[in-house]
Structure 1
C-alpha cells in the first residue's frame, strides 16, 4: 500500500516524534511505501528514517522552493512546480492518506483532501493521527459541522480519527482488505 503522510517539517518534541516513529515502523515493517513531502528535516525526516529503517520504500514529492531540503536517498523523488501540484501528485500516488501533526500547510492539505473526498473526487481512506490530542479541537469542529448540517456526508465516511499508529494502520489495512 502507498501511504501518503502529510505532516510537519518542524523539529518537534517526543509527544509527536514517538507516535511518528511508531507509525513509520509499521509502514516499513508492513512492506508499504511512504509517500511524503520529501523533506529531510523535522517530522518528515523522522517518518522517512523510520520507514526506511524498517524496510519500506520512500517516495518523496517536494516542491521547487524546498528542493534543497529534499531527502537525497529516497527511492524516488519528484520535484513539483508549486504546492497545488505537489498535493495533487501525492494524492495520485496514494492508496490511503494519513494526516499527522503540522501547521497551516498540513491543515491546508488535510482540508483539501477531505473536500475532494466529500465530492467523491477520491475514495481513499483518510486518517487523522491525533497524537497527544493535537486534533481534539479540529475533531470537535468537524462534529459541529456535521451536527449543524455543513457536511453532506457523515463525518465517519470522510475521516477516521486514530489515537495512535497501531489504530491508524489497523484501519488502513481493513479498508484495503489486508489481513
Structure 2
C-alpha cells in the first residue's frame, strides 16, 4: 500500500517524534511505501528514516523551491513545479492518506483531501493522527460543521481520527482490505 503522509518538516519534541517513529516502523514492517513531501528535515526526516530502516520504500514528491532539502537515495523522487502540482501528485500516488501534526501547509493538504472526498472526487481512506490531542480543536470544528449541516456527508465517511499510530494502520488495512 502506498501511504501518503502529510506532516511537518519542523524539528519537534519527542511528544511528536516518538509516535512518528512508531507509524514509520509500522509502514515499513508492513511492506508499505511512504509517499511524502520528499524533504530530509524535521519530522519528515524522522518518518522517512523510520520507514527506510524498517524495510519500507520511499516515494518523495518535492517542489522546486524546496529542492535543496530533498532526501537523496530514495526509491522514487519527483520534483513538482509548484505546491498545487505537488499535492496532486502526492494524492495520485497514494492508496491512503495519514495526516500528522503540522502547520499551515499540512492543514492545507488536509482540507484539500477532505474537500475532494466530500465531493466524491476520491475514495482514499484518510486518517487524522491526533497525537497528544494536537487536532482536538479541529475535530470539534468538524463535528460542529457536521451538526450544523455544512457537510453533505457524515464526518465518519470523510476522516478517521486515530489517537495512536497502530489505530491508524489498523483502520487503513481494514478500509483497503474491504475494497
**Same fold? TM cut 0.5:** yes
Q: Deviations over 1:121-152 (max 9, x none)?
A: 00010000000100000000000000000000
Counterpart CA distance in 2 for 1:73 and 1:143 is 42
The answer for the alignment partner of 2:49 in structure 1 is 49
> How far is 1:74 from its partner?
1.0
Question: Segments of 4+ in structure 1 off by > 4 A?
Answer: none
- 1:123 is aligned to 123
Q: TM-score, normalised by structure 2?
A: 0.99
CA distance in 2, matches of 1:93, 1:81: 17
Structure-2 residue corresponding to 1:38: 38
Partner of 2:176: 176
Q: Quick check: 1:137 aligned with 2:140?
A: no
Q: CA shift at 1:73, angstroms?
A: 1.5
1:148 aligns with 2:148: yes
Report the TM-score when normalising by structure 1. 0.99
1:1-179 to 2 correspondence within 5 Å?
Answer: 1-177=1-177
Q: CA deviation at 1:176?
A: 1.1
Take 1:141 and 1:34, find their aligned partners in 2: how far apart are those partners? 29
Distance 2:86 2:120 in 1: 20
Aligned residues: CA RMSD: 0.7
Q: Which structure 1 segments of 5+ residues have no match?
A: none
